[in-house]
Amino acid sequence: MSGKLYIVPTPVGNLGDMTPRAIDVLKSVDLVLAEDTRTSGVLMQHFDIHTKMASHHKFNEHETAGKFAEELENGKNIALVTDAGTPGISDPGFMLVRECRQRKIEVETLPGATAFVPALVNSGLPCERFTFEGFLPQKKGRNSRLEELAGESRTMIFYESPLRLVKTLQQFCSAFGESREASVSREISKMYNHTQNGTLKELYDYFSENAPRGEIVIIVAGNFEKLKKDKIDKYAQFKNRHIDSKNDNEI
C-alpha cells in the first residue's frame, strides 16, 4: 500500500504562525523533504522535531521526484517543506506532486502560510479577483510579459528581491503608467513588516530613497479603464441583442 505525500506550509517569518497540525505531521512522517536542510533544521529544532530530512530543491527536483515517488509507493509517508510558505508557490513542489498524481499516490496539502495573501489583503486593492504572477522572468520574456499584463483588469501580484525592487517599479511605471495604484509589502509577519501604498511613481520615489530589505511582494491594481470599457461593451452587446430580439418579435 502506498504512503502519502503531505505538502506542509511553514511560516514566512514568525514561527508563531506554524500550525499544531503541521508540527504533528512533520513528527509523524518517515521523511521530511526540505528545500534547504539547514534552514528547515532551525524550524525542526525549535519545535523539537527529529524526523530524518533529505534535500529536494529546484536544482535537483528533476532527478529526485521519481526517487521519492518510489519511496512513497513502497509505503513511506513523506512531508515536503520549503524555506518559507507553501511548497509549489514560487518554490519546489509541483514536480513531485505531478509525479505522485501520475502514479496515483495520495497527496494532501495542509492550509497555512503564504506571503501573497496577507500582502494582497493589506494593499486595500480589490482582491475578489486577482492574478498571481510570482517572479517575472529576469531577462528574456520580461518585457513581453509586462506588455501582456498592461491590459490585465484584475489585481496583479508579483514577488521580487529587494535588490531589484527599484528597477522593477521603474519598469512597472513604463508598462502600467505612473499613476497606477500599488503597494509594496516586505518582511511579512516579521518584527519589521511594512506595507507602503501609493502610485507606482510614488513607490519608485520612496524606495529610491529608502533601500528595501527582506522578501518583497508587490500588488498592482488592474487596468480599471479596460475593465470599465469591457463592462460598457458587454452592456452594449446585451442592449443590441435586446433591441434585435424586440424587432424580430414585432416583425
Q: Looking at residue 104, what is its pLDDT?
A: 97
What's the predicted TM-score (pTM) here? 0.85
What average pLDDT does this structure show over 6-35?
Answer: 97
pLDDT grade for 139, boundaries at 50, 70 and 90: confident
What average pLDDT does this structure show over 104-111?
Answer: 98
Burial class (CB in 10 A: 0-12, 13-18, 19+), 59: exposed
CA dist., res. 185 & res. 123, Å (int):
8
Q: Is the pLDDT of residue 35 over 70?
A: yes
β-partners of residue 135 are 159
Per residue in 205-242, pLDDT (tens digit) is 999 999 988 899 999 999 987 656 555 555 556 556 66
Instruction: Note whether 159 and 115 are within 8 A (CB).
Output: yes
Per residue in 172-199, pLDDT (tens digit) is 999 999 999 999 999 999 988 999 999 9
Q: Looking at residue 225, what is its pLDDT?
A: 78
Q: Looking at residue 88, what is its pLDDT?
A: 94
Tell me which residue of 98, 80, 96, 68 sits closest to 36, measured CA to CA: 80
Q: Is the pLDDT of residue 97 over 70?
A: yes
Q: CA angle, 85 as apex, 210 and 213 as ends, to 5°?
A: 10
The 10 Å Cβ neighbour count of residue 53 is 20
